[in-house]
Chain A
Amino acid sequence: EVQLVESGGGLVQPGGSLRLSCAASGFTFSSYEMNWVRQAPGKGLEWVSYISSSGSTIYYADSVKGRFTISRDNAKNSLYLQMNSLRAEDTAVYYCARVVVSSFDYWGQGTLVTVSS
């Protein structure tokens, strides 16, 4: 069974940093592209970042470019999102999601990041 489990969310002050993790199981993690998608409270889905299966190709949404860094460790079946210079507008549930044929076929349960003083 495919499972994606996010962790690392919490309360952080504006300007602070946080590192999210996503533990994958039930599939060959190293063969799949992965993404982070977020959802602000009461708002819609927003794509955040993409990483290819090998980690060689990475993309970011304009809203996080220069502040967030996506990475993966295929040996540990894990996906990461390093978030720096956090702003109030980064407050959201962050989901990791697997990509197959340009669609997100499996999602984690999400981890809540709250940026507030």
Chain B
Amino acid sequence: QSALTQPRSVSGSPGQSVTISCTGTSSDVGGYNYVSWYQQHPGKAPKLMIYDVSKRPSGVPDRFSGSKSGNTASLTISGLQAEDEADYYCCSYAGSYPFVFGTGTKVTVL
């Protein structure tokens, strides 16, 4: 099972929107509505930001939103804030494997 493909980095100014893509196959992203997104600050454990493609856990700001089209899922951060600067990872259920992570994206707030 290969890692899902994410851009290495994205950046934006405070207040802007950024979108991170996560491309897989019909065996993972495209086959299930079980894509999740994680935020990780340096030296910290990952934090769940989005699950089931577009659902937000309690406490996650509504600036974070998720979507999916075919084999590609996306995370959008609207109204970018300084504290959003972190690494972001997507993850998909993949049947009997059963989980595969993305390669990770560094978000920089300019």
Contact = CB atoms under 8 A, between A and B. Distances in A.
Interface of A: 35, 37, 44-47, 50, 59, 61-62, 95, 100-105, 107-110
Interface of B: 1, 3, 32, 34, 36, 38, 40, 45-48, 51-52, 57, 89, 91, 93, 96-104
A104 B38 contact: yes
Given A59-B96, A102-B36, A102-B93, A109 B3 contact: no
A103 B48 contact: yes
A45 B91 CA distance: 9
B89 A108 contact: no
A37 B71 CA distance: 23
A100 B93 CA distance: 12
A73 B101 CA distance: 27
9 contacts: A44-B3, A44-B101, A47-B99, A100-B51, A102-B36, A102-B93, A103-B48, A104-B36, A104-B38
Task: Specify the main secondary structure of chain A where it touches its partner.
Answer: strand
B88 to A, nearest CB: 11
A101 B93 CA distance: 10
